[in-house]
Amino acid sequence: MDIEEHFFRHEFGRIVATLTRLFGVRNFALAEDVAQDAFCRAMETWKLRGLPKNPSAWLMAIAKNRALDILRRERTARVSEPELTRFLESEWTLVPTIEEAFSTYAVKDSQLRMMFSCCHPRLSEEAQIALILHILCGFSVKEIAQAFVSSHAAIEKRITRAKKILAESAKLFDLADADFPSRLSSVLQALYLLFNEGYHGSSPEAAVRMELCQEAMLLMNLLIEQPALVTPQSYALAALMYLNAARLPTRLNGSGNLVSFFEQDRSLWNHNLIAEGQALLNLSASGTELTKYHIEAAIASMHTSTARTEDTDWKQIVSLYDMLMAIHPSPVIALNRAIAIAQLDGPERGLQEIRVIHDLHRLSSYPFYPATLGELELRRGNYPVAKAHFSTALSLARNPMERNFLQRRIDTCKESQPGS
Amino acid sequence: MTEFVYFYRGYELPASPEEMQKKTAKWMTWLKDLSDKGLVKSLGEPLQPDGKVVKGTKKQVIDGPYAEAKDVVGGYSIIVARDIEQAVEFSLGCPIFEDGGSVEVRPIGQLELSDGY
């Protein structure tokens, strides 16, 4: 029997969250140690004897026994979750309380609480995401540093500081708290950024890191399973993730090269994910609030519901981008809007729109800004200008996939230019 | 055919759950392969790193482990091979070497004339 992909990582997050609930956020380090210990034992045993029948239950049992030992030994000193303390103080209720904490429902609840705790208002968005990846998804500091093209030391510092702030909280986030709605939007924003990091990745190694997208979706699913946490904007973000994830398989071709949006083979899109995403988008339509997630999901849905690229309703897409710019203006969104306008009214119009983008300088290191200029110039037949833009883009490329992609565009310019 | 013990000694534990999983899978593949070929008498057991040593005429009890981390036995398996050369050859695929550990290959002392036992 093979171990399910990322099994250790996912179980680690579940166990740390559960133990933190039992020991209190203040004793987060202890929870991590106990989880680490359980995993070492699992590894030592499994590598010789193979997998047990139920690996997850096996790990949980080890963690459970260790938790029981610790709570017996250091009873009140360790515990700080007020609603659990009194049950853990008496031998009569200690064992059933721990059993209960390791039940499927309670583990999910602990993960959710952890997610909300990680999105502490005193933490920056970067720190929140790093913490979520580290605590809930079981990524090591090194793995996070790789994913975010950051130095090991920088991520380590960020996580250590974030953990300290987390440990200062007396308890894990109480879902009934009055500040619940504000935390929910930070949680959604963190998951959104996590997903985008995977989807548009700036990593030097890979342009699409499916793993980060999958992690964001797993956590998102946990959130929308919880009736109390389901809001139209949660549904909208979930829809956006599903509709984008459906298109992940075609962003890279068989040889690992980026494929232009216009050349993607739509028959390879994941139709189950599209159907799920569409259903979620419908659910998001209740209420009066219109968030950026709603609009971005609507744009994604315009693409996934159109079988052939040439049938795309660009007019509708441009108007969705207009709405997005109205509630959430950003140079990247403006650039995407300009691309849609170019599709609708031709490359000249697209270039005009790019010239008037506010804060254009913020795109100066974004390779797809010059790449877009190159693409539009190429369509106008301005091959030398297009080639120059693609060369600029190439110098900004962040990974081999982007470099290959841009090199091929440069080659296209050369081939298209008469007399060269 | 002779039975041999592999003592797995001293190696670094992987730093992340993902690496642990990869390492576990490698070990499982290696031992399963030997096992499928009928070369494994017992998959063996891991040994916990902590323990006691009782020694001397005074039967002094001291805390283990007993040597430097790199020499601590972390587990064992029993395999069957024609001779020590072959037993060594079978050990070469063990993932422990990637992590700075070693395999001690020891024939189990069966005598030819063991009928008396």
User: Quick one: pLDDT band at residue A201, thresholds 50, 70, 90?
Assistant: low
Distance from B69 to chain A by nearest Cα, in Å? 15
What mean pLDDT do residues A273-299 have?
Answer: 94
Ranges in chain B, pLDDT < 70: 65-67, 110-117
- Chain B interface test: which of A3, A4, A5, A8 (most B C-beta within 10 Å): A8
The answer to which of A32-46, A140-154, A301-315, B93-107 has the lowest mean pLDDT is A140-154
DSSP per-residue codes, A37-57 = HHHHHHHHHHHHH---S-HHH
> What's the pLDDT tens digit per position in A334-362?
999 999 999 999 999 999 999 999 888 88
Average pLDDT for chain A: 87
> What's the pLDDT tens digit per position in A367-376?
899 999 999 9
Q: What is the pLDDT of residue A47?
A: 93
Q: Cβ A8–B18 below 8 Å, yes or no? A: yes
* A142 has a chain B CB within 8 A of its CB: yes
Rounded to two decimals, the ipTM of the complex is 0.89
* B50 has a chain A CB within 8 A of its CB: no
Where does residue A286 fall: left (phi above 0), alpha (psi -120 to 50 degrees), or beta otherwise? beta
Q: In what order do the strands lie in the sheet with B102-107?
A: B40-46, B73-81, B2-9, B102-107
A175: pLDDT strictly greater than 60: no
A83: pLDDT strictly greater than 70: no
Q: Are residues A250 and A264 in contact, defined by beta-carbon separation less than 8 angstroms? A: yes
For B101, the 3-state DSSP assignment is: coil
Q: What is the pLDDT of residue A261?
A: 83
Q: Cβ A9–B18 below 8 Å, yes or no? A: yes
User: Quick one: pLDDT band at residue A204, thresholds 50, 70, 90?
Assistant: low
Classify strands B102-107 and B2-9 as parallel, antiparallel or unpaired.
antiparallel
* B78 has a chain A CB within 8 A of its CB: no
A21: pLDDT strictly greater than 90: no
User: What residues contact residue B108 under an 8 Å CB cut-off, 6+ apart?
Assistant: B2, B3, B4, B5, B78
In this complex, which of B20, B32, B43 lies closest to A8 when CB atoms are compared?
A: B20
Cα separation, A403 vs A410, whole angstroms: 11
Distance from A52 to chain B by nearest Cα, in Å? 12
Tell which wins on pLDDT, A399 or A213: A213
Q: What is the pLDDT of residue A96?
A: 84
Q: What is the pLDDT of residue A206?
A: 62
Q: What is the pLDDT of residue A200?
A: 76
User: Quick one: pLDDT band at residue A228, thresholds 50, 70, 90?
Assistant: confident
Tokens of B18: 């993902």
CA distances from A276 to A108, A196, A304 (A): 22, 19, 12
Q: Which residues of B touch A139 (CB under 8 A)?
A: 16, 18
User: What residues contact residue A230 under an 8 Å CB cut-off, 6+ apart?
Assistant: A223, A224
Single out the residue of A287, A271, A295, A196 nearest to residue A241, CA to CA: A196
Q: What is the pLDDT of residue A282?
A: 95
User: Quick one: pLDDT band at residue A178, thresholds 50, 70, 90?
Assistant: low
Tell which wins on pLDDT, A253 or B43: B43
Cα of A241 vs its chain's centroid, Å? 9
Q: What is the pLDDT of residue A11?
A: 93
Average pLDDT for chain B: 88
